[in-house]
Amino acid sequence: MTALLEVDNLHVAYGGIQALRGVSFAVEEGQVITLIGANGAGKTTTLRAISGLVKPTQGNVRFAGKSLLGVAPHRIVARGLSHAPEGRGIFANLSVEENLDIGAYLRTDKAGIAKDREHALTLFPRLRERLQQNAGTLSGGEQQMLAIARALLARPRLLLLDEPSLGLAPQIVALIFQIVKQIAKEGTTILLVEQNAHMALKVADVGHVLEVGTLVKTGPASELAADDAIRKAYLGVH
């Protein structure tokens, strides 16, 4: 059976700087996969290459058996792959409601959109209270909720989440990860990039460790969480 996502020997360079060097992994339907690693390891670049925002210099990315190379980012979304980027990437001068509408802009099934919008507002009740508010006036946690909700409005088979806990208070981080688990339980496959390796490995099925653009370790998330070297390097356990 073909994996939902296949990343094969991916190389990405920014000018003369090699950001990814031969990264390969697969994501099976229904899994939560996490990429962990230090800042600058290539985690965000991997997601950007998958969603068509940067062009690989070598290698391939296949989604549902078809190559994504050269496919425009909006076409990739239309195929069923949504990206909630690092830094949230919301439209600050638009309302919460307008941001959600943009998430569904490629869809024409009005009843389905209404159902998914209602579901997103059930997952994130704070957004329901702030539908007419400008997104730029939301708190950091609420902006992160909006970024995830907007990505869900595209009804993705695979959701790419980049640093959903970045800069958030611990109680909001716990809430965001609780919702990530809920989204996965409901059947959306997730590829998660996360600086908070402890939380990421708690929700993931499989983890991949990136160091300076190279995949150095892969395994069940529970095994990585128990690995002494991983614990010292990424979990703050000495």
Confidence band, pLDDT 50/70/90 cuts, at residue 231: confident
Of all residues in the chain, the percent with pLDDT exceeding 70 is 97
Q: What is the mean pLDDT of the chain?
A: 92
Question: pLDDT tens, 156-180?
Answer: 999 999 999 888 888 888 989 999 9
Question: pLDDT tens, 91-130?
Answer: 999 999 999 999 999 889 999 999 999 999 999 999 999 9
Token representation of residue 231:
């614990």
Q: Yes or no: say if 215 and 45 are a contact pair by the CB < 8 Å rule.
A: no
215 pLDDT more than 90: yes
pLDDT for position 232: 86
Confidence band, pLDDT 50/70/90 cuts, at residue 70: very high
Q: What is the side-by-side strand order in the sheet with 32-36?
A: 81-84, 158-162, 189-193, 32-36, 206-211, 214-220
Cα–Cα distance for residue pair 27/33, rounded to 1 Å: 7
**Would you say the C-alpha torsion 7, 11, 14, 17 has a positive or negative sign?**
positive
Determine the angle formed by the axes of helices 140-152 and 110-123, rounding to 10 degrees.
150
pLDDT for position 50: 97
Domains identified in the chain and CATH numbers: 1-80+158-164+188-225+232-238 (3.40.50.300)
Helices (H), the chain: 43-50, 73-79, 96-103, 110-123, 125-129, 140-152, 170-185, 197-203, 221-226, 228-234
pLDDT for position 16: 85
**Reduced to 3 states, what is the DSSP secondary structure of residue 226?**
helix
Cα–Cα distance for residue pair 208/218, rounded to 1 Å: 4
Question: pLDDT tens, 36-59?
Answer: 998 889 999 999 999 999 999 999
Cα–Cα distance for residue pair 228/223, rounded to 1 Å: 10
Q: Yes or no: say if 160 and 50 are a contact pair by the CB < 8 Å rule.
A: yes
Q: Yes or no: say if 113 and 102 are a contact pair by the CB < 8 Å rule.
A: no
Residue with tokens 């078809």: 66
Q: Yes or no: say if 12 and 204 are a contact pair by the CB < 8 Å rule.
A: no
Please give the model's pTM, rounded to 2 decimal places.
Answer: 0.92
- Burial of 108 (C-beta count, 10 Å sphere; 0-12/13-18/19+): exposed
238 pLDDT more than 60: no
pLDDT for position 87: 67
Residue with tokens 């909700």: 149
pLDDT for position 160: 96
Cα distances (Å, whole numbers) of residue 229 to 37, 101, 209, 217, 218:
12, 44, 11, 11, 13
Question: pLDDT tens, 186-197?
Answer: 999 999 998 888
Cα–Cα distance for residue pair 143/89, rounded to 1 Å: 9
